[in-house]
Structure 1
């Protein structure tokens, strides 16, 4: 993402993101569904509780047929199944942030 001009930050867990990121200044979140501790779905639910409206693009290798429904129910922006082409992620980000220029 940096190579195409986006400002990015990585966090080792959903909890570390919640504790260390200025969430209201975040344009888009890319989150795995399965993470240690809090899942990506739980992260989105926490953001919803805090009334932080940032698009969340989920990625997952899970084949759970209920996963797309769960992503929609929590207000997730998109779900990309691993493996996916990098351009699919770039397209999802551009759509999520309204096709604004990176950076």
Structure 2
């Protein structure tokens, strides 16, 4: 069977903790099940590495020197960085947990934690990262295909999204109904929409319903 090539980068589990012993322990645990890992002793080290936009997940200690784990999490979110985060702490309490989860953490594990709990959390985080990256890739491809739409096709699409029938769209735009059908069919073909539901979802993604 020929080898299937893919451009999808291999995910990395990033460990950010100032406790070198814990970092090494987590590194060994993740590598034992086949994950690629990288270690950092502070949030600053991680940011300076340029790793924040790569595929993977972040296992982040709340108590860090300098920028705390929670403040770092919020900084990443503000910068539009969506890497899934697993928070861990030996000093966790309810307010910290709530703050971390509201900011989008995948999980919150108090130290000491069970190895299987950590592995389950990482598996969930990597699955979410892969799903979100695939969605963004599809959206980017859709926007590239949308560049080939004519202004009239966009006008028709914006009205399709509101639930208008071809006859109503024809009246709005001063066109014949058959012309509207042609524009609608051309738009569906250019975007690769197989069904009306696909077509409307694509219109919404492109914000052509506004």
TM-score, normalising length: structure 2: 0.45
**Structure 1 vs Structure 2 CA RMSD:** 1.5
The separation in 1 between residues aligned to 2:65 and 2:58, in whole angstroms, is: 17
Structure 2 spans left out of the alignment, 5+ residues: 1-29, 131-210
The separation in 2 between residues aligned to 1:33 and 1:22, in whole angstroms, is: 19
Find the structure with the greater CA-based Rg: 2
What corresponds to 2:39 in structure 1? Answer: 10
What corresponds to 1:44 in structure 2? Answer: 73
The separation in 2 between residues aligned to 1:77 and 1:71, in whole angstroms, is: 9
Instruction: Specify which of 96, 99, 110 is matched with residue 70 of structure 1.
Output: 99
Provide, for residues 63-103 of structure 1, a one-character-per-residue CA deviation record: whole Å limited to 9, x for no partner.
Answer: 42212111122211110011111010000011111187xxx
Instruction: Specify which of 27, 42, 46 is matched with residue 56 of structure 2.
Output: 27
C-alpha contact 2:101 2:108 (8 A) present in aligned 1: no
Runs of 4+ residues over 2 Å off in structure 1 = none
| Bigger RCO of structures 1 and 2 (CA < 8 A, at least 6 apart) | 1
CA spacing shift, 1:7–1:39, aligned 2, 3 Å = same
1:22 Cα deviation (Å)?
A: 2.4
- Count of residue pairs brought into register by the alignment: 100
| Counterparts of residues 52-91 of structure 1 (less than 5 Å) | 52-91=81-120
Higher helix share: 2
